[in-house]
Amino acid sequence: MRKIIGLILLAVSFNLTAATLDSVTFADKVNVEGKELILNGIGIRKATILKIKVYYGALYLEQKTKDPATFLTTTAPKQIVMHFVRDVDAKKLRDAFTEGMEAANKNHASFKALLDKFNSNIVDVVKNDLIIITFTNDGVSLNVKGKQAEKIAGAEFSRALLNIWFTNPRDENLRNGLLGL
């Protein structure tokens, strides 16, 4: 009996921990290219003047920080997880990525072909779907609704895309949540 209780306690101690906001749960840690990233913060993307919740976003970094300048220019991997709480059609998502890229990057025109390739993988999402974007030194990996897209090469594009959430962002409250503010 003691062995069974010991095994149960051991299993519980190894249980993955998670963070929850408004019943949307994100893992405390993710593994990207063999590196453990930790949850930096969770934010809510709200749209329109009515402030309708669109998705909950989570930012994963190697080390927690409240200052985006400390990670936007590094080569360390980063990840954004978008957990949708409403249906959004692909065109609206593509438009949002394009508008975000234009607002966040003065040189956005130089990334048009790569952004078009990125956007070609965006499809309609429904409540509880995930979009996972992984930013690495050699490009961007995109997973939409469990389907992994071909990696888009380019460190500069990776940084420019990540800027969407932190440089002249469309939603300051989402930015602040991702930064743990």
Please report which confidence band the pLDDT of residue 8 belongs to, taking 50, 70 and 90 as the band edges: very low
Identity at 82, one-letter amino acid code: M
Identity at 33, one-letter amino acid code: E
pTM of the model: 0.88
DSSP state, 180? T
List the structure tokens of 155: 């460190």
**pLDDT at residue 49, rounded to an integer:** 86
Architecture of domain 17-178: 3-Layer(bba) Sandwich (3.50)
**pLDDT at residue 13, rounded to an integer:** 36
Residue whose token pair is 């969770």: 42
List the structure tokens of 165: 């959430």
The answer to whether residue 14 scores a pLDDT higher than 50 is: no
**pLDDT at residue 22, rounded to an integer:** 82
- Helical segments of 73-122, H only: 90-104, 112-119
Task: Work out the angle at residue 158's Cα, subtended by the Cα atoms of residues 153 and 160, and round it to the nearest 5 degrees.
Answer: 130
User: What's the half-sphere exposure (Cβ side, CA atoms, 13 Å) at 91?
Assistant: 0
